[in-house]
Amino acid sequence: MTHFFKIYYITLIIILLGTDLIYSQESYANNCQFVRKEHSNIQVHFRFDTYILEPQYMGNSASLQKLTHIIDSIGVLQIDSVVIISQSSPEGVYEHNLMLSKRRANTLSKYILKRHPQLSERLYVHPNGESWSQLREYVKKDTLLKNSTIEKVISVIDAKINIGTKKWRMQRLPVYRYLLKTYYPLIRNTVFCIIHYSKTLPVPAKIQPIATSATVKSNAASNIIKYIPYTSPTESPVPDNGMFYHRLHLKTNALGLGLGIANIAAEIDMAEHWSFSLPVYYSGWDYFKTTIKFRTFAIQPEFRYWFSRLNDGLFAGVHVGLGYYNLATNGKYRYQDLNRETPAIGTGINIGYRIPIGKGNHWRVEFSVGAGAYKVHYDIFHNTPNSNEGLLIRSIKRAYWGIDQASVSFSYTFHFNKKGGKL
């Protein structure tokens, strides 16, 4: 009969975990209470973008002591399994946050196994990644927010859009800073669920209606969580000088393409708020006739500061430019850099905006405009048809002040870790 109860409890716990535990930390506690309520409300929190265990942070020391006390009071031999559910706050790069939740779970797994190595084959981890559902529950119960504000936040969370656009919309809300300060630290946590069975523990009467409810029946087959047994990671749980994941953006300027100028740019996120972009432009042909042309080879490296730490949205940049040119617009004159070896050189500032588009958080569209000052030295020729040269009129050396950048760019984003490996 004891074995029957044990099999019954294991089946019930798996079904309940599969249907409810994946949604919120509160669900974890409610489901586990059918074994013992106090064995599922243990939380350990982490600082932003780290998986280092800090005992003095947000009451972690008391939580870890409680965990040890419960395991010791039950007895290791009486524990059937320990489930570690880890998650991250919904900010930054999705792939990075998923990896972060895995590393947080592994950090706590190592902590438990160091003190209770006998649990090595009964320890399971469930990295939950970004927990939008828990944020939703916190906001829904917030008594300080207006109902209209709560509705706006929940509408963004529930929207069927790609994750990058959802984060961008969340950041645009006036209440975002409040959420970031109040609730995001609470979501960066790991929850423990300790499952054990007592020989004298009867089957609680209230389990039966829950186990046979329509919700459990309809979801049991499709939503059962396949827990991953813990295996010791090969890397150390302590990062080297912190952990940062780069993104590489490959893009092209649609305005340049419209003018017949081939172009490509590469931009890399160096750190939160900072990125470096290098565009290259080239055109070596006439526009239908020899008296209309905009031949050029130009580069314009740029450092950008992003007002969001997600490196999307509004940015300001400073750039330097170098460009060779041969310009004619079907008028009387043609303008060319002196002796074809004196490019325009200068520097400028720009401002722009970038937003995610499409699904998968890979495609983006960017708008940018800039102005600068350049030193130019060029020859003026008669714009003679079917002639490569025409008559030289004079040479001019001057400074140019004005617009030096305009773009509507489309980019594809790759996510890379600090050592260059793709996630």
pLDDT at 245: 57
**pLDDT score, position 289:** 85
Each residue's pLDDT tens digit in the chain (423 positions)? 444 444 444 444 443 444 333 333 444 434 444 444 345 578 899 988 888 888 889 889 988 888 888 888 888 888 888 888 898 999 888 888 888 889 898 898 899 898 888 888 888 888 888 889 989 999 999 988 999 999 999 999 999 888 888 888 998 899 998 999 999 999 998 888 888 766 544 444 443 433 333 333 333 333 333 344 444 443 333 333 334 557 899 999 999 999 899 999 999 999 888 999 999 999 988 888 888 888 999 999 999 999 987 788 899 999 999 999 999 888 889 999 988 889 999 999 999 999 888 766 789 999 999 999 999 999 999 888 876 667 888 899 999 999 999 999 999 998 765 433 333
pLDDT at res. 206: 43
Side chain identity at 409, as an amino acid letter? S
Q: What is the pLDDT of residue 70?
A: 86
Domains in the chain with CATH codes: 2-229 (3.30.1330.60), 246-416 (2.40.160)
Is 338 within 8 Å of 387 (Cβ atoms)? no
Contacts of 86 (CB under 8 A, 6+ apart): 101, 102, 104, 105, 108, 125, 126, 127, 128, 189, 190, 191
The candidate with the shortest Cα–Cα distance to 36, out of 204, 189, 190, is 204
- Helix (H), strand (E), coil (C) string for the chain: CHHHHHHHHHHHHHHHHHHHHCCCHHHHHHHHHHHHHHHCCEEEECCCCCCCCCCCCCCHHHHHHHHHHHHHHHCHHHEEEEEEEEEECCCCCHHHHHHHHHHHHHHHHHHHHHHCHHHCCCEEEEEEEECHHHHHHHHHCCCCCCHHHHHHHHHHHHCCCCHHHHHHHHHHCCCHHHHHHHCHHHHCEEEEEEEECCCCCCCCCCHHHHHCCHHHHHHHHHHCCCCEECCCCCCCCCCCCCCCCEEEEEEEEHHHHHCCCEEEEEEEEEECCEEEEEEEEEECCEECEEEEEEEEEEECCEEEEECCCCCCEEEEEEEEEEEEEEEEECCCEEEEEHHHCCCEEEEEEEEEEEEEECCCCCEEEEEEEEEEEEEEEEEEEECCCCCCCCCEEEEEEEEEEEEEEEEEEEEEEEEECCCCCEC
Model-level pTM? 0.51
pLDDT for residue 315: 96
- The per-residue pLDDT for 19 is 37
Q: What pLDDT, on a 0 to 100 scale, did the predictor assign at position 279?
A: 96
Rounded CA-CA distance 3/1 in Å is 5
